[in-house]
Amino acid sequence: MSTRLVGIDCTLCSYRAIDSDDMRAHMADHLASARRALQTARKRYSATTTAGAEVVIAAAAAGISEVAIASALDVNRLTVRRWLGKPRRR
Ligand SMILES: [Zn+2]
């Protein structure tokens, strides 16, 4: 009986699959996990940009310039203009 180690090592974790079918099943778990992480990140990004846009609108209404707002938030001025509902022109 051979004592040779067989299998396919996962490049993402310490799992060793017994064959390619097993590796594909294992990768489905990694994909599902990455899907959940991306969904969470998108939700957080959306909530964060919505909150940022609210601050931009309030700051502009208070008389702060688009350039100053963009600098303070470290975003492009065109992003500020988009959040203010203004056209993309300079
Ligand atoms: Zn893995």
Q: In the structure, what pLDDT confidence band is assigned to residue 4 with cuts at 50, 70 and 90?
A: low
Cα of 2 vs centre of ligand 1, distance in Å, is: 26
Please state the φ and ψ torsions of residue 89, each to the nearest 5 degrees.
-65, 160
For 35-84, write each residue's pLDDT tens digit. 999 999 999 999 999 999 999 999 999 999 999 999 999 999 999 999 99
Cα of 40 vs centre of ligand 1, distance in Å, is: 21
Cα of 44 vs centre of ligand 1, distance in Å, is: 26
Burial of 8 (0-12, 13-18, 19+ CB in 10 A): middle
Cα of 27 vs centre of ligand 1, distance in Å, is: 6
CA–chain centroid gap for 50, Å, is: 15
Cα of 33 vs centre of ligand 1, distance in Å, is: 11
Q: Which residue has the higher pLDDT, 5 or 40?
A: 40
C-alpha 77/C-alpha 19 separation (Å) is: 53
What three-state secondary structure class fits 53? helix
What does the block give as tokens for 65? 């310039």
